[in-house]
Amino acid sequence: MPRYRLAFGLVLLTLVLTYCLIVLGGIVHNTGSSLACPDWPKCFGQWMPEMTGGVFYEHSHRMLGTLVGLCAIALCIVLWRPAPDFPSIRHHGLILLGIIIIQGILGGITVL
């Protein structure tokens, strides 16, 4: 039973963080900060650039996206063991992870 509680908690955390990521993406767009970092995955050749102006919004969006991806990986690990009452649940985690990876790649292509 604890595995289900952990999975449920990870699902809720991923859901909330994804919502925050969407809101932050809207802020990035509305502030005109969409291309404040000219390279990807780093920003101005650094993992942690000076967070001033539009860089603050765009790089925060990238960091939150990375956190969502890490939560999805953690969820896939927790769901990997098959559950007798939910036989296809591991596939849902893998689909989620695949969608997040594709979205990250599309974001990187947009910058490049």
What are the domain boundaries of the chain? 2-111
Specify the pLDDT at position 26.
Answer: 92
Distance CA 48, CA 42 (A): 8
- Contact (Cβ atoms closer than 8 angstroms) between residue 104 and residue 90: no
Specify the pLDDT at position 77.
Answer: 83
Helix H segments across 1-112?
2-30, 54-79, 89-111
Specify the pLDDT at position 110.
Answer: 79
DSSP assignment letter at 33: -
Specify the pLDDT at position 23.
Answer: 96
Specify the pLDDT at position 12.
Answer: 94
Give the alpha-carbon dihedral of 12, 16, 22, 27, to 10 degrees: -170
Residue ranges in the chain modelled with pLDDT below 70: 1, 3, 82-88
